[in-house]
Amino acid sequence: MPVSDSRDPDDGQAAARRPPSRSRPRSAQLPQQSAGLGENQERASARGTQPRQAGCPDLASRARSQLDGFGRGCEPQALTMTRLKDFVTLLGLITTLAARGGSAHAQSGQAETGPPAALQNARGLRLVAVTDVARPALRVVLPEHALSDRSIEVLVPEHVTAVGLGSTAAEHLFLPGAGRPIEPAWRAVGRSLEYRRELSGAVDMVARATLEDDGVRFQYELTNRSAVRYDMITAVTDPRLTGIFHDLRLERTYVHHSDGFDLLASDVPMRLTLPLERWLPSRVLASFTWPVPPQRIEQRADGITYYNKSRAVDLPLIVTRSTDGAWAVASFSQAPGNVWSNPELTCQHVDPQASLSPQQRIVLEVKLLVVRGSLDDALREVIRQRGLIKRENATTHDGLRLNDPVGLLRRVGLPSTVARIPDAE
């Protein structure tokens, strides 16, 4: 005998007058889902149809049909027992699905509130937030290496520095480190890790690192919410290389000239034999858009020795090869003033600069290339991708070019030999 149910689902009074079944009390029926079903039931009643159940409509409808038929005693005993077994099985399935959904939801919630998981590309390169340091840092991990491998760690950024309109002094808008620890709230957005922060001077920053097929692209969105005009602002990306990439004497760190690759420190041959206490601390620099300084070696008041390469590079690029020659790590950007390294950290600096007007938003960008191959392999990718790097306006409000530090410094009355961004390392 087929089961027929012509009851109006909203007819509560009729249901109350119906005598209870001898084989099963009415309390055994599935309770109506109350949240958000009132309007659904009223519309269904007006159409003469059963309301759709929230969640899993097919499973809920089948469960109600099974239990209603059993409760009214409309089936023969054998068929009733069979349908009861079916209902128990179906109810167990619903419970299992609900438990899995709750577990997945709990796991998702935990992932959102804790540090983001490591990102990985198709080649096995991984990007992970470093949460045990006082600075915003990311770790780039080679394929088949442990997540704890610190061979490539990047400060994002090391600092943000600006020079106000008409000012003679550079100002650190952001300088984390000893005594100024910060814990950035990294979050994963697609293939990127990013965080937001309000800097001093009412400048907002979004720092973003995007994992690509051959490395990581770093972007800094800077928005000036103040009335101050900045002739120059820079966010300094600081890749620090250790392990198989550490190059204390700069024997595997290269730049590129019009006639090909050359060691960044080729003009400093005595570095190979100097005692470490005389070689360090030091900085080795090569001009790109800035003029080549006439002084090759500068002993500064900070106790650091600066070695200036005798000729400019033709690409804003630094490449360091691994000790086994299998890997190359390269940093490049669009148009920095110079490229340089601190050999003690084997860092790679290709930091772009721009001007920033009130209520203006700019983006500064640097690419870290990680390739399994030769210097020429890295060079081909740099040439191919460099046009994709964002390049912001590089003109001051007085019409001076930011790649003309001599003109800028003469305007503010400073000697041209100090045309450098303050070193925070």
Give residue-wise pLDDT tens across range 215-235: 999 999 999 999 999 999 999
Note whether 60 and 186 are same-domain residues.
no
What was the pLDDT predicted at 194? 97
Q: Are residues 317 and 385 in the same domain?
A: yes
Above 60 in pLDDT, residue 22?
no
Among 101-110, 202-211, 245-254, which is the least confidently predicted range? 101-110
Q: What is the pLDDT of residue 367?
A: 98
> Do the beta carbons of residue 21 and residue 72 sit within 8 Å?
yes
Q: How confident is the model at residue 391 (pLDDT cuts 50, 70, 90)?
A: low
149 and 100 part of one domain: no
CB 255 within 8 A of CB 317: yes
How many domains is the chain partitioned into structurally?
Answer: 2
pLDDT > 70 fraction of the chain, expressed in percent and rounded: 65
Written as six digits, the tokens of 240 are 């620090």
Residues in the chain: 425
- So what's the pLDDT on residue 333? 97
Mean pLDDT of 55-79: 44
Q: Which tops the pLDDT comparison, 238 or 404?
A: 238
Which letter, b or e, does each residue of 36-50 get, where b requires 16 or more Cβ atoms within 10 Å of its Cβ?
A: ebeeebeebeeeeeb
**Nearest of 322, 389, 305 to residue 350 by alpha carbon:** 389
Q: Which of 204, 202, 206, 205 is nearest to 226 (CA)?
A: 202
The model's confidence at residue 116, banded by pLDDT at 50, 70 and 90, is confident
Domain boundary among the residues 95, 113, 131 is at 113
Which tokens belong to 145?
A: 């290496």
For the residues 164-184, what does the mean pLDDT come to?
A: 87
Beta strands in 225-294 (DSSP E): 230-241, 253-257, 260-263, 282-287
pLDDT of residue 115: 72
Q: Domain range for residue 50?
A: 38-113
pLDDT tens sequence across 336-363: 999 999 999 999 999 999 999 999 999 9
Instruction: Please check whether residue 147 is in contact with residue 141, taking contact to mean a CB–CB distance below 8 angstroms.
Output: yes
Which is more confident, 331 or 66? 331
Burial 165-183 (b: 16+ CB within 10 A, else e): eeeeebbbbbbbeeeeeee
> Do 191 and 239 sit in the same domain of this protein?
yes
Q: Do 156 and 70 reside in the same domain of the chain?
A: no
Tokens for 34?
Answer: 């109350």
| Residue 11 within a domain | no
List the CATH number of the domain containing 182: 2.70.98
Secondary element (H or E) of residue 195? strand 192-199
Are residues 285 and 371 both part of a single domain? Answer: yes
Last residue of a domain, one of 113, 132, 163: 113
Burial zone of 109 (CB within 10 Å; 0-12 exposed, 13-18 middle, 19+ buried): exposed
Mean pLDDT within 83-111: 50
Same domain? For 154 and 61 the reply is: no
Position 336 scores a pLDDT of 96
Q: pLDDT tens for residues 361-376? A: 999 999 999 999 999 9
Residues 109 and 124 in one domain: no
Closest by CA to 369, choosing from 355, 357, 383, is 383
Cα(292)–Cα(309) distance, rounded to whole angstroms?
8
Does the residue 135 lie in any domain? yes
**Following DSSP, what letter does each residue of 37-82 receive, concatenated?**
THHHHHHHHHHTSPPPPSS-HHHHHHHHHHHHHHHTT-S-HHHHHH
User: Cα dist. 51→31, 44, 69 in Å?
Assistant: 14, 5, 18
Which residues contact residue 288 at a Cβ distance below 8 angstroms, ignoring those fewer than 6 apart? 312, 313, 315, 316, 335, 336, 337, 338, 339
Can you give the pLDDT at residue 60?
Answer: 44
CA–CA separation, 89 vs 82, rounded Å?
11
Question: Helices 77-113 and 57-71, interaxial angle, to 10°?
Answer: 150
Q: Alpha carbon 407 to chain centroid distance? A: 37
Q: State how far the Cα of 167 lies from the Cα of 174, in Å rounded to an integer.
A: 18
pLDDT of residue 139: 98
pLDDT of residue 25: 44
Q: Is the pLDDT of residue 327 over 80?
A: yes
Residue 67, pLDDT above cutoff 70 = no
pLDDT bracket for residue 191 (50, 70, 90):
very high
Please tell me whether residues 213 and 327 are part of one structural domain. yes
420 vs 290: CA distance, rounded Å: 10
Last residue of one domain, picked from the residues 113, 139, 164:
113
Poorest-confidence range of 115-119, 123-127, 379-383? Answer: 115-119
pLDDT at 153 exceeding the cut of 90: yes
User: Average pLDDT over the chain, rounded to whole?
Assistant: 78
Same-domain pairing of 159 and 54: no
Omega before 157 within 30 of 0, i.e. cis: yes
Is pLDDT at 305 greater than 80 in this prediction? yes
**Structure tokens given for 111:** 């992932």
Residue 33 lies in a domain: no
Q: Are residues 86 and 130 in the same domain?
A: no
Asked whether 369 and 214 are in contact (CB, 8 A), the reply is: yes
Amino acid at 147: L
Is the same domain home to 84 and 216? no
pLDDT over 90 at 178, yes or no: no
